[in-house]
Structure 1
Amino acid sequence: MKSITIKGSERESVGKKASKALRNAGKVPCVLYGGDKPLHFTADELSFKEIVYTPNAHTAVIDLGGKKLNAVLQDIQFHPVTDKILHVDFYQLFSDKLVTMNIPVNLVGNSPGVRNGGRLLWRKRKLAIKALPDNLPDFFNVDISTLKIGGYITVASLLNDDFTILHPDSTLVVQVKSARNAVLIDEDEEEGAEGAEAAEGAEAAEASTEAKE
């Protein structure tokens, strides 16, 4: 999984007054949990652009003046009016400790059910998993190129030995439901119909040529 580096500095003082002064200076108060004790630090608000304002999942490298710590974003607080970042919590990663993270789901291909008028319902855009840091995937690629009307894909088809998906196997990820004007056509029948139409067209053209002669 891709990591985003966030450069910061350890905080000498904590509390509401100190935090307010930091925010006024364009800094964000942060806390890193998971180690021997919580580590308080600050970072520029712009440093969080790639890890917060993105649909992708990333880990973080907290760079505190030479001391680098691997972490994941755990919680973030925004101002209710301005949407400015007020506070960020991270959780430190260790190579031998499992971590829980939400992984985005990407849909790949074009569904024949949708082409026939069905309605695509994307039930899960992210899936929570538990894994060792080195086994965290960037995303789930879900192939919908064979998904017909009435078809669906569940978590069961995404199981992997490298991680545990924290949803029941029967959880729907994506499905194609019938719409009012949907055409229920089997793909094999559709191909057969296209072949028959092509053959009829060829016969008609041949008959027209013979008539002209």
Structure 2
Amino acid sequence: MAVKLNATKRENLTKSATKEIRLSGKIPAVVYGKEKESKSVVIDSIELVKTVRDEGRNAIISLDVENDGAVDVMLHDYQIDPIKDQLIHADFYVVNMSEEMDVAVTLRLDGEAQGSKDGGVLQQPLYEIQVRAKPGSIPEEISVDVSALEVGDSLTVADIPTEGSYEILDEQDTTIATVVPPTTEEDFETDTDENAEPELVGAEKEDKE
């Protein structure tokens, strides 16, 4: 079920109007889609942030535009003010609930790897998975249990459990998690000794003189 978000039409596109919109706690946004005419709207910044935080980045949003009815959309892109760290613009893509689409889904590693308990280091080279699914079947995130991984073991895309009505698009042999051997203090000292500058012969004698 789509979560509802209200919006109003944006008629005045001048910079001064945009500034006023942001000062009021709202942001300008654009709604567009395949064979759809783009619309400029205004939405509440706090409500959008709350919606994405609660429902996830790939949530289906029923965007109810004042005097224009509701439409199913997904947050496609957004802009953040790098200085104030505030949301300043958003793009919404109109979705067809019966058509598949390609999206990025967060990959989460669950559990504590046995190799980590034994002193190894768990590394995660991939944090997002590309999937293809109908909008209503897009998972909020995909989780993989790594508790059985020993030092030297790794997991690939092929090891991701196939649950839900979606297709994973990444290459099957792409590594998603691995446990590398620990770097011991002895190894560090050896590396330090090898990289140290050679001692100057006779330097100590010259200093004393």
TM-score (norm 1): 0.75
Identity %: 25
Q: Return the offset for 1:172.
A: 1.2
In the alignment, is the contact (CA less than 8 A) between 1:57 and 1:139 conserved in 2? no
Kindly provide the amino acid, as one letter, of the partner of residue 37 in structure 2.
Answer: K
**Counterpart Cα distance in 2 of 1:31 and 1:15:** 15
Whether contact under 8 Å (2:57, 2:75) holds in the other structure is no
CA distance in 2, matches of 1:54, 1:172: 29
1:151 equivalent in structure 2: 153
Quick check: 1:91 aligned with 2:93?
yes
Equivalence for 1:30: 29
* Aligned-CA RMSD value: 2.4
> How far apart are the structure 1 equivalents of 2:126 and 2:112?
18
SS of equivalent residue, structure 1 residue 22:
helix
Q: Partners in 2 of 1:54 and 1:77 — Cα distance?
A: 19
| Contact 1:56-1:104 within 8 A present in 2 as well | no
AA aligned to 1:6 is L
1:173 to 160, 173, 176: 176
Matched residues in 2 for 1:55 and 1:118: separation? 35
Question: 5+ residue gaps in structure 2?
Answer: 185-209
1:129-148 superposed matches below 5 A: 129-148=131-150
**Aligned residues between the structures:** 181
Q: Which amino acid aligns with 1:29?
A: P
SS in 2 for 1:168: coil
Does residue 63 of structure 2 align to residue 62 of structure 1? yes
Once residues 55 and 167 of structure 1 are traced to their aligned partners in structure 2, the CA distance between those partners, rounded to angstroms, is 24
Identify if the C-alpha distance between structure 1 residues 155 and 54 changes in structure 2 by more than 3 Å, giving closer, same or farther: farther
> How far did residue 24 of structure 1 move?
2.0
Question: What is the CA distance between 1:62 and its match in structure 2?
Answer: 1.1
SS of residue in 2 equivalent to 1:37: strand
Asked if 1:21 is matched to 2:20, the reply is: yes
Q: 1:22·1:28 contact (CA, 8 Å) conserved in 2?
A: yes
Give the whole-Å Cα distance in 1 for the aligned partners of 2:159 and 2:13.
Answer: 47
| Contact 1:11 1:42 survives alignment (8 Å) | yes
Quick one: distance in 1 between partners of 2:50 and 2:129? Answer: 20
Cα distance, 1:159 vs. partner?
Answer: 6.6
Alignment of structure 1 residues 106-117 onto 2, 5 Å: 106-117=108-119
**Which segment drifts farther, 145-154 or 49-58?**
49-58
Aligned partner of 1:46: which letter?
I
1:45 aligns with 45
Task: Note the C-alpha offset of 1:153.
Answer: 1.0
Unaligned regions of 5+ residues in structure 1, if any?
182-213
Distance in 1 between residues matched to 2:15 and 2:132, nearest whole Å: 34
